[in-house]
C-alpha cells in the first residue's frame, strides 16, 4: 500500500482537536491524506507529580475512537513519545496493544519505528506487522540518513522486524532545521536521498519538516504572517531532484511545532490564537490570555482572519466555515481544542489543495 507523492502526511498528536479535525475533513480530502498519529503520554498531574491516568486507561479508547474518526483509511502509528519503558498492565508494549485493538475493529495502521527504538519496541512492531501485514515505516533523522552505514542499518532493522525492502516506507524527518541558507539544505538533503539505495527502493519516500513557531511567545499580535518554510523548501527540492528523480511525499507537523512537552497548566495562561494556513505561510491571529479574558475574544479574532487578504473564503474548508460562523455569532467561541481542530482541519485541506495544484488530481 504505497503512499504516493500526490498524498499528504500530516504529523498529528492524537488529541481531541486533531482527531476532530480529521473527522470533519471532506471525503475527497481524506482520500489524499495519510496521517501519522503520534501517541502522547498520559497527562501529568503536577500537584501529585504522577501521571493522571495509567497507560491502560489512557489508551483504552484509542481503537474505537480511531475507527469512529478515521474509519478504515490508512494511518501511520508512532509510539515514540511514550516512555520507552512503558508497558501495559498485562505486559504488552503499547504499540502491540494499540495495533491489536485497532485491527480487531477493522482499522488499517502501519507501525512507525526509528533506528534507535529499544528491543521491546522492535518486538512490538514485529508482532504488529505479523498480524496486520501492512509493513512498517522507518522514521529517520537527516543525521542518520547521512551516515555511510545508513543502508546497512536499515537492512539490519528490517531483518529483525521480518520485513522485506518492498514492504517498508521511509520518512526523512528534518524536524525543525535551519531553513537558511535554503540552497545548502537542499544540497544536503539531495545528497542523502541520492546516496541511499534504501530510500530509492522503499515502498514510499516521505519528507517531513516544520517551521511552525515553537512557542506562541514568538508571535506578535494581532495578526502576523509566518512563512511555511517546509513547503517552499519542498517545492525547491523537487526542482533540484529533477524530473527523473523520485518525488517524495510531503509531510509536515500541521499547525504545531515538532516535539512534545507537558506544562503545568496551573501556571500557564494560553492566549487566544487562530492558526490559518494560506499560500506559502500561515496567518496567526493572537489575542490575550483566555484564562483572564475569556473565549469571547475569538469573535474578534475570527473577524481579523476573515478580514485578511489571506482568507480563502467560506466553503474552502470546514475550518474556514467555522471561523466565519464564529465571527457572525452563528458558531460558539469554543475552547482551545475547538481552535485546534479548526486550524488543523483547514491546514490539511489547504495542503491537499496545494498538492493537487502542483501534481494534478
* Cα(54)–Cα(43) distance, integer angstroms: 10
Q: What angle in degrees, to the nearest 10, is found between the helix axes of 94-104 and 119-132? A: 10
User: Are the CB atoms for 81 and 260 separated by under 8 Å?
Assistant: yes
User: Are the CB atoms for 224 and 284 separated by under 8 Å?
Assistant: yes
CA-closest candidate to residue 103, choices 84, 75, 123: 75
| CB atoms inside a 10 Å sphere around CB 153 | 16
pLDDT at 1 over 90: no
All three cell numbers of 344, joined, read 488543523
pLDDT score for 244: 78
Per residue in 200-224, pLDDT (tens digit) is 999 999 999 999 999 888 998 799 9
Q: What angle in degrees, to the nearest 10, is found between the helix axes of 336-359 and 318-327? A: 130
Question: pLDDT averaged over the chain?
Answer: 94
Q: Spell out the domains of the chain, with CATH numbers in brackets.
A: 8-266 (3.20.20)
Q: What angle in degrees, to the nearest 10, is found between the helix axes of 297-306 and 318-327? A: 120
User: Lowest mean pLDDT: which of 222-226, 266-270, 313-317?
Assistant: 266-270
pLDDT score for 265: 59
Long-range pairs for 331-337: beta carbons < 8 A, 24 or more residues apart: 333/295, 333/296, 333/297, 333/298, 333/299, 334/295, 334/298, 335/295, 336/17, 336/270, 336/290, 337/15, 337/16, 337/17, 337/20
pTM listed for this prediction: 0.96
* Cα(241)–Cα(262) distance, integer angstroms: 39
Longest dimension (CA), the chain: 59
Amino acid at each position: 500500500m504505497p503512499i504516493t507523492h500526490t498524498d499528504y502526511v500530516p504529523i498529528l498528536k492524537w488529541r481531541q482537536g486533531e482527531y476532530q479535525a480529521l473527522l470533519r475533513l471532506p471525503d475527497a480530502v481524506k482520500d489524499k491524506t495519510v496521517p501519522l498519529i503520534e501517541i502522547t503520554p498520559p497527562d501529568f498531574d503536577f500537584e501529585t507529580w504522577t501521571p493522571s491516568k495509567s497507560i491502560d486507561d489512557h489508551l483504552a479508547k484509542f481503537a474505537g475512537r480511531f475507527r469512529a474518526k478515521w474509519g478504515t483509511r490508512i494511518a501511520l502509528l508512532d509510539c515514540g513519545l511514550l516512555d520507552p519503558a512503558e508497558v501495559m498492565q498485562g505486559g504488552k508494549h503499547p504499540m502491540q496493544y494499540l495495533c491489536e485493538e485497532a485491527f480487531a475493529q477493522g482499522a488499517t495502521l502501519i507501525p512507525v519505528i526509528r533506528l534507535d527504538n529499544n528491543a521491546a519496541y522492535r518486538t512490538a512492531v514485529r508482532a504488529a506487522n505479523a498480524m496486520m501485514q501492512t509493513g512498517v515505516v522507518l522514521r529517520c533523522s537527516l543525521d542518520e540518513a547521512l551516515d555511510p552505514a545508513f543502508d546497512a542499518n536499515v537492512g539490519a532493522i528490517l531483518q529483525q522486524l521480518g520485513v522485506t525492502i518492498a514492504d517498508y516506507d521511509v520518512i526523512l524527518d528534518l524536524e525543525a532545521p535551519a531553513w537558511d541558507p535554503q540552497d545548502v539544505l537542499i544540497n544536503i538533503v539531495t545528497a542523502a536521498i541520492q546516496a541511499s539505495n534504501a530510500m530509492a527502493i522503499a515502498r514510499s519516500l516521505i519528507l517531513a519538516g516544520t517551521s511552525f513557531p515553537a512557542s506562541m511567545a514568538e508571535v506578535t499580535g494581532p495578526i502576523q504572517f509566518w512563512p511555511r518554510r517546509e513547503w517552499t523548501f519542498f517545492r525547491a527540492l523537487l526542482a533540484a531532484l529533477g524530473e527523473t528523480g523520485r518525488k517524495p511525499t510531503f509531510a509536515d507537523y500541521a499547525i504545531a511545532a515538532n516535539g512534545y512537552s507537558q506544562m503545568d497548566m496551573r501556571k500557564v495562561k494560553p492566549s487566544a490564537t487562530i492558526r490559518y494556513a494560506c499560500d506559502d505561510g500561515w496567518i496567526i491571529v493572537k489575542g490575550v490570555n483566555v484564562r483572564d479574558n475569556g473565549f469571547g475574544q475569538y469573535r474578534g479574532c475570527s473577524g481579523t482572519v476573515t478580514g485578511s487578504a489571506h482568507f480563502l473564503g467560506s466553503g474552502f474548508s470546514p475550518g474556514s466555515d467555522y471561523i466565519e460562523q464564529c465571527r457572525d455569532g452563528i458558531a460558539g467561541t469554543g475552547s482551545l481544542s475547538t481552535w485546534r481542530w479548526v486550524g488543523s482541519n483547514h491546514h490539511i485541506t489547504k495542503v491537499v489543495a496545494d498538492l493537487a495544484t502542483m501534481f494534478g488530481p
